Structure 1
Amino acid sequence: MKPFLDEVSKTKFREKVMGELVGIVPHKLDVSTLLNIVRKYADIIDEEALKREFAAALNPEIEDEKLNNVRTRFQIGLKDVLVEETIQILDHTLLWEDAIRTVGRPLVTRGDVTEGYVQKAIDNIKADKPFIMIADGVIIAHAGVDDGANRVCLSLLTMPERTDVCGYMQADVVIMIGTPDPTKHLEMLEQLNHIIEDKKSLQLLKKAKEPKDIIKLIQKQEKEK
């Protein structure tokens, strides 16, 4: 889910393309220059408003940054959604469909997602066989933003042995994520990614005896950021 270009690359790309298309390099124009040009040919009714419009047009990355700040402010972290009641540590291994229904059960009980959302996640795997393995033995099941997720949520279960997933994957950690918004869950996913990308942390997660052990792992990861 990482962007194809980071912010610096996007800005350079945008400037290059704009320069090639209209024959100008954007940063060589400023608000004062444009205002002076406009004054030659028109009466300016609201100069301050016009300045803001020019500034936004010449520096779209500033507006992007403001938007990103707003999104970040309202994004939800892993600790906000992965709580003891959404973590299950099983002492037996389930068939993959049962594992997904089981990991989705707390979310249905809490009203985070509908039963239809859980079934859609299963149907997606059967129909499309998406590669949803995000780490060794870890899969993340989900449906779409319009398939019955009422809020950003996440649940997790671990099993002692791996189960075959529709003949093309094997998993001993099953995660379900739900979101009705395409951006609010991104911070949560990034934090989850930090944990499972680290082999030591992933092993600690798989060997956890109680949900609170996984909560402590998340808290430790948060402190180390």
Structure 2
Amino acid sequence: MLNEIIGGIQIADKVESWQDAIELAASPLLQKGMIKEDYIDAMITNINKLGPYVIIAPHVAIPHARPEDGVNKLAMSLLKLNQPIAFSEEERHQASLIFILAATDNQTHLKALSQLSTMLSEEENIDTLINGKTIEDLQILIDKYSE
């Protein structure tokens, strides 16, 4: 379930770069030992090589890397930024919601990813997350899609 694998939700006013956004978003997973520092480095390297492919919807990024890059346990985290961060010069590559995905293999994360996709497929849910003022506001919506 989506709410069972979220290892941390944070709200920050702003960050200086998309790299800082990934590091901050991943920090709860790193602190809990769910990922290694190498995983954060791999996510940043992938975006540097491949471009902003992690932007999956307006205002939403899902940075990830391969399981062998340093995932210890299936996990996700969410960073909501009050000021969006640019993953490129293009307006469409701005994100306020950074969901870190750490999968241990190609299968176990699919149910949670499906629930996340369902939640994010409704534009009003993205607006709810972006406009959420507290972690509890965000958690309520995540719980609703974790059944």
Q: Tell me the TM-score normalised to structure 1 length.
A: 0.61
Greater relative contact order (Cα 8 A, min sep 6): structure 1 or 2?
A: 2
- Does the residue aligned with 1:141 lie in a helix, a strand or coil? coil
Q: Deviations over 1:104-152 (max 9, x none)?
A: 1110000000011001100110012152212111011011011100111
Name stretches of at least 5 consecutive residues in structure 2 with no aligned partner: none
Q: Which residue of 2 aligns with 1:202?
A: 126
* Cα pair 1:103 1:157 within 8 Å, conserved: yes
Q: Identity of paired residues, percent?
A: 30
Q: Which residue of 2 aligns with 1:188?
A: 112
Q: Which residue of 1 aligns with 2:67?
A: 145
Give the 4+ runs in structure 1 shifted more than 6 A: none
Question: Which structure would you say has the larger Rg?
Answer: 1
- Does the residue aligned with 1:138 lie in a helix, a strand or coil? strand
Name stretches of at least 5 consecutive residues in structure 1 with no aligned partner: 1-76
Per-residue deviation at 1:167? Answer: 3.6
Q: Which residue of 2 aligns with 1:213?
A: 137
Per-residue deviation at 1:200? Answer: 1.1
Per-residue deviation at 1:219? Answer: 2.1
Measured on the aligned residues, the alpha-carbon RMSD in Å equals 1.5
Looking at structure 1, the residues matched to 6 and 134 of structure 2 have their Cα atoms a distance apart, in angstroms, of 13
Larger helix fraction of residues: 1
- Does the residue aligned with 2:68 lie in a helix, a strand or coil? coil
Q: Deviations over 1:29-70 (max 9, x none)?
A: xxxxxxxxxxxxxxxxxxxxxxxxxxxxxxxxxxxxxxxxxx
